[in-house]
Amino acid sequence: MTYEVVNSKVVRVQVSQANPVLARRGAMLGYSGQVAFRPVSGAAQGIGGMVGTMMAGESNKMMVAEGQGSVLYGFRGLYVTVIDLTGDSLVVEADRLLAHDANLQTGVEMVGQGGGRSAVRGAMTGQGLFTTRVSGNGTVSVLSHGGTFPIQLNGETVGVDPQAYVAHTGALQVDLKASVGMRDLIGRGSGEAFQLHVSGHGTVYVQASEEKF
């Protein structure tokens, strides 16, 4: 196990020659051993799939940790959830990625790609216009405000507050449903006019807060 949960806010990752780790810039708390950090830029060569991540761009600068040692990752006291991927994929807002194995493939779903729906989803969750798809075999750690809890879905549908949505794995369909009534238009609505309706087979991760970051 290369990802050790130190506490609810910090994760310790074993870095080796065979297993470099990509992480959000500024998220390294400390390390021991011979580890070198390198900022990764859009034109960077090497580590597969990274280019896609970098296209997410300005708001999501990453760096790669290479060498041999263990690194502590955490970010501004936000809670950390560790998710193992075995061939399936995780869809997450790019801002929330704390660290993941560099050999995972990352792709960005942007405006106009994958239909307008994913763009709207990104916009509505307040995390920018990008959602990132991470896939392959490896481990991902994801940031949240107040911790996450998983909701298992086996064909049913669950409604999630867009601000509380963190990520999902599996074959899930995510739709943004608006129920804007007259009261919302005049600003006296319940504040829950938009909901994400998640259906299918998989797991959706929800944070215990509506706070954005």
Partner 1 sequence: MIDGIETPTWDASSLPADDNVNPYAFSIALAGEWFVSKGAMIAYYGNVEFAGVSQYASRASWVAARFSSPLYASEWVVAAGQGKVIVADRGYDVNSYDLDEGNLTIKQTNLLGFQTSLELKQSIVPGFVTLIGTGKFLASSNGPVIFVEPPFRADPDALLGWADCPSPSQHYDHHWMAQSFMAGIQGMFGRESGEERQYDFTGAGTVLMQSSEQLRVDGALMKLVESQTNLLDAQSAGALGHRLVQRSQQQ
Q: Which of 22, 28, 164, 166 lies at the binding interface for partner 1 (CB under 8 A)?
A: 28
Q: Which of 59, 4, 7 minimizes the C-alpha distance to 213?
A: 59
**Contact call for residues 52 and 107 (beta carbons, < 8 A):** yes
Pick the stretch among 13-21, 23-31, 146-154, 155-163 that binds partner 1 (CB under 8 A).
Answer: 23-31
Q: Check binding of 37 to partner 1 (CB under 8 A).
A: yes
Q: Which of 10, 99, 140, 206 lies at the binding interface for partner 1 (CB under 8 A)?
A: 10
Q: Which of 38, 177, 188, 212 lies at the binding interface for partner 1 (CB under 8 A)?
A: 38
Q: State the number of CA atoms in the 13 A half-sphere of 125 facing the CB.
A: 31
Q: Check binding of 6 to partner 1 (CB under 8 A).
A: yes
Pick the stretch among 37-45, 87-95, 109-117, 175-183 that binds partner 1 (CB under 8 A).
Answer: 37-45
Q: Which of 36, 111, 185, 208 lies at the binding interface for partner 1 (CB under 8 A)?
A: 36
CB atoms inside a 10 Å sphere around CB 189: 14
Interaction pattern, residues 106-145, with partner 1; x per rule: CB under 8 A: ----------------------------------------
| β strands within the chain, DSSP E | 3-7, 10-15, 21-24, 28-40, 62-73, 79-93, 97-101, 105-109, 131-144, 148-160, 165-178, 194-207
Q: Check binding of 14 to partner 1 (CB under 8 A).
A: no
CB atoms inside a 10 Å sphere around CB 18: 7
Strand partners, 5: 11
* Spatial separation of the C-alpha atoms in residues 101 and 11, rounded to whole Å: 13
Q: Check binding of 77 to partner 1 (CB under 8 A).
A: yes
Q: How far is the CB of 74 from partner 1 (least distance, A)?
A: 4
DSSP structural state of residue 42: T
Residues at the site binding partner 1, with contacts judged by CB under 8 A: 6-10, 25-32, 36-39, 41, 61, 63, 72, 74-78
